[in-house]
Structure 1
Amino acid sequence: MNQLTEYILQFGNLNPQQIELITSKATEIELRKDAYFSEAGYIPKQVGFVVEGVMRGCYYNNKGEEITRCFISENSLVVDYINFDLNASSSEYLQACTDCKLIVFSKQAWEELSQTIVGWDAIKNKMVQLCMYQKSRKGPVISQDATTRYLEFIENYPALTNRIPLTYIASYLGVTQQSLSRIRKNIR
């Protein structure tokens, strides 16, 4: 829980009792590689904080191809927040790329914090803004050639290249796995 506490305190000040209340509302879970944290067609039911591992946001395009939209690693929130907040069905999946350890809050626990802790909404809003920025940023620019997209991926996610399956990286870059293998071979 220390990682979560340190993360939250970046966004505002809380006293020890408030921190204790927050951690008492949280549960630690483990997700095995390839398990889903939330799924398309269902209402997201929880907010997660990644303690260990890598998650990804993905969806299926109109051709049925799986597209990886973002990667979420340690010390980050993981949630489809708009649909979580609206109680609406998601159109994307949040999936574990590796075995993951998460700290999660149910919708009820998350809302109770807003009702109980003065200033929680300001802290929560900053955390959610960062989460949404991280999910939307750094997408590859398809007009760039594949090698440039891969080099930018390495620059933006230096710690991930050897931690997650190449199929996910290829999907994120919009190339086949064979193309990605060729690009990686040419760069070495």
Structure 2
Amino acid sequence: MKELIEYILQFGNLNKQQIDLIAGKATELKLSKENYFSEAGKIPRQVGFLVDGVVRGCYYNNKGEEITRCFITENSLIADYINFEAHTVSTEYLQACTDCKLILFSKDNWDELTHTIVGWDNIKNKMVQKCLYQKSRKSPVISEDATTRYLEFMNNHPSLINRIPLTYIASYLGVTQQSLSRIRKNIR
């Protein structure tokens, strides 16, 4: 809970009573590797804060191929926020790449914070902006060759290289797992 409170306080000031209210509305969840935080075809019903682990945003293209769009790491808000707020069906998945520890807020509890804490909307909006920015695909430029894309990934996400399955990295880079293995072998 300490990590969540420190994260929230980056975006605004809260008193002890407000912090206690936030803590009281939150629940903890352990999400096992490969399980989904939210799924396409369903209405997202929670906002999470990732305390430990890695989650990926992914979807299926019109050929049925799984595409990894982004990776979300510790100390980040995690939500399909636009669909969560609009109460509409999601078109993508948020899936645990590793075992994860999360702090969750249900829709009702999240909304209650808005109605109870003066200034929460401003704090929430800043957190959501950061969440949406992190989820927006900062993908490698497909016009670059695969080795360049992988080197860029290593530079931008050094902590992920040995934490998540290569199949997810390959999907993110837009290459096959075999191609990624060759690239990795040639770089060493």
**TM tier relative to shorter chain:** over 0.9
1:79 Cα deviation from its structure 2 partner: 0.4
Instruction: Give the 3-state SS of the residue equivalent to 2:17 in structure 1.
Output: helix
Q: Match for residue 51 of structure 1?
A: 51
Give the conservation status (yes or no) of the 8 Å contact 2:113–2:120.
yes
**Quick check: 2:69–2:137 contact (8 Å CA) kept in 1?**
no
Asked if 1 retains the 8 angstrom alpha-carbon contact of 2:32 and 2:100, the reply is yes
Q: Deviations over 1:34-54 (max 9, x none)?
A: 000000000000000000000
| Cross-structure match for 2:86 | 86
1:1-188 matches, cutoff 5 A: 1-188=1-188
1:60-106 Cα offsets, whole Å, 9 max, x none, are 00000000000001000110000000000000000000000000000
Q: Secondary structure at the match of 2:158?
A: coil
CA distance in 1 between partners of 2:116 and 2:148 (Å): 48
CA distance in 1, matches of 2:132, 2:156: 16
Structure 1: stretches of 5+ with no match in the other structure = none
Shift of 1:137: 4.4
The separation in 2 between residues aligned to 1:25 and 1:72, in whole angstroms, is: 23
1:20 is paired with a residue whose SS is helix
Q: Distance in 2 between matches of 1:49 and 1:37?
A: 11
The structural deviation recorded for 1:138 is 2.1
Q: Distance in 2 between matches of 1:155 and 1:16?
A: 40
Matches of 1:50 and 1:156, distance apart in 2: 19
Does the aligned pair in 2 maintain the 1:28–1:104 contact within 8 Å? yes
Distance 2:80 2:101 in 1: 18
TM-score (norm 2): 0.99
Identical amino acids, percent of aligned pairs = 78
Cα pair 1:138 1:156 within 8 Å, conserved:
no
Distance (Å, rounded) in 1 between the aligned partners of 2:67 and 2:137: 15
SS in 1 for 2:144: coil
Cα drift, residue 155 of structure 1: 1.1
Distance of 1:30 and 1:121 partners within structure 2: 28
Counterpart residue type for residue 19 of structure 2: I
Three-state SS of the structure 1 residue aligned to 2:68 is strand
Structure 1 residue 156 displacement after superposition? 1.1
Q: Which runs of 5+ in 2 are unaligned?
A: none
CA distance in 2, matches of 1:121, 1:150: 39
Alignment size in residue pairs: 188
Query: Per-residue deviation at 1:22?
Result: 0.4
